[in-house]
Amino acid sequence: MTKTKKPQFGELSPKYSFVLNPYPDLRFSRCPFCEHKTGQRKIPLLIHVKPVHSIALNFTCRYCPTCDLLIVHKHDLEHLLTEMFCQYDPGSVGNEYLIIGTVEKSAWREGLHHPKVGAEILPHVSDFTAYYKELRVTHRGWYPAGQEPQMMEPPASQEWVKFKPDRQGCWSTKNH
């Protein structure tokens, strides 16, 4: 029996598991899977913003060395994306995005001076070994026997949403 190879985006071997934290008030000083303490790791993430933008963003994530898990705080990431796209391409603010994987630090640094486009970045990209779309947590508290705790709904994005352009040509929540 032949072994089928899992499709891979980057040319480097996959590393890190990944989860997106949609709760702005929860910071996960402990891993949501194994309960060990997490640290911080600053790592270049490759992010695709629809329709055609790919960005390598050096971002500080929570990191669990036991699970090899990167936890990205959605609120912080969307704040940075909003600031970047407000200057670069305001029409893309609020579009869907996908965090594809990580980029080698040396390639990211080189890209600051000589940007890599399209297939030039692929030899420097690592996919994630596991991709957990978004984290979900339950409400805290005491529950009677047999009653399951309710899931907390994450709040809607406050910054990474479509708005009408304001007078400065950037996007804002103000109504004019």
- 85-124 pLDDT, tens per residue? 988 888 899 999 999 999 999 999 998 888 877 788 888 9
**Residue ranges in the chain whose pLDDT is less than 50:** 1-4, 167-169, 171, 173-176
5 inside domain: no
160 inside domain: no
CB contact at 8 A, 46 and 159: no
**Residue-level pLDDT at 170:** 59
**Residue-level pLDDT at 6:** 62
Looking at the 3D structure of the chain, how many domains does it have? 1
94 inside domain: yes
171 inside domain: no
168 inside domain: no
**Residue-level pLDDT at 166:** 55
Residue type, 9: F
96 inside domain: yes
How many CB atoms lie under 10 A from the CB of residue 125?
22
Range of the domain at 26: 17-134
167 inside domain: no
**Residue-level pLDDT at 119:** 80
Q: How many residues does the chain have?
A: 176
Q: Which of 78, 58, 54 is nearest to 134 (CA)?
A: 78
**Residue-level pLDDT at 2:** 46
101 inside domain: yes
